[in-house]
């Protein structure tokens, strides 16, 4: 990077881990290495543009072959935040680590937050409001969403307020 650079493009590949953290066992993540496991399962990955940007220097994508020289700045992060979720990770990447864990909502989001969301979204109701994986909640509530037009609100065991909706029945 030069001192007079006007912008940076940051590519975040959410949940694409490149090896476990020293505290992985505390979170049930021992052996975590999403990218490494994908490379292992398929015998390599052909991602030439990401390799040129430096991903191949972090994790070998083509076993037995050397990664090309990187044309971009690259690195991997060891988290220092007091939290282990998407939001904390994004804050930290941008230079603002979380000093305390963000709140989680295993029993759903507070009513005042939901009311503010419904008002802003222009809807009379929502579906879900619980912790779930995206695929599971779509399987469970997808048909009801199509019938009612109500968005599906959920969280995935972290602090993130997630919304699932079909653009045909809810709009953008």
Summarised one tens digit per residue, pLDDT across range 89-127 is: 888 988 999 999 888 898 999 999 999 999 999 999 999
Write down the pTM of the prediction. Answer: 0.65
Give the integer Cα–Cα distance in Å for 132 and 154.
Answer: 6
Are 58 and 39 in contact, with CB atoms under 8 Å apart?
Answer: no
pLDDT on residue 85: 79
The domains of the chain are located at: 1-78, 111-170
114-168: pLDDT as tens digits: 999 999 999 999 999 999 999 999 999 999 999 999 999 999 877 889 999 998 8
Decide yes or no: CATH 3.30.70.1250 for domain 111-170.
yes
64-92: pLDDT as tens digits: 899 999 998 888 888 888 777 788 888 89
**How high does pLDDT run on average in the chain?**
89
Give the integer Cα–Cα distance in Å for 76 and 131.
Answer: 29
Check residue 27 and report its DSSP letter. G
124-138 as b/e: b if 16+ CB within 10 A: eebbbbbbbeeeebb
């Amino acid at each position: 990077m030069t001192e007079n650079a006007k912008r940076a493009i940051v590519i975040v590949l959410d949940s694409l881990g490149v090896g476990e953290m020293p505290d992985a066992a505390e979170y049930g993540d021992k052996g975590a290495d999403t990218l490494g496991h994908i490379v292992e399962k398929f015998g390599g990955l052909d991602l030439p543009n990401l390799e040129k940007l430096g991903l191949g220097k972090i994790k070998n994508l083509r076993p037995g072959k050397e990664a090309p020289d990187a044309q971009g700045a690259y690195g991997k992060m060891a988290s220092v935040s007091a939290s282990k979720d998407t939001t904390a990770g994004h804050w930290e990447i941008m230079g603002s680590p979380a000093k305390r864990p963000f709140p989680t909502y295993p029993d759903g989001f507070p009513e005042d937050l939901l009311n503010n969301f419904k008002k802003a979204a222009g809807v009379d109701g929502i579906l879900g409001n619980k912790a779930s994986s995206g695929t599971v909640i779509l399987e469970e509530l997808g048909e009801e969403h199509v019938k009612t037009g109500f968005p599906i609100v959920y969280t995935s065991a972290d602090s993130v307020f997630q919304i699932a909706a079909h653009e045909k029945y809810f709009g953008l």
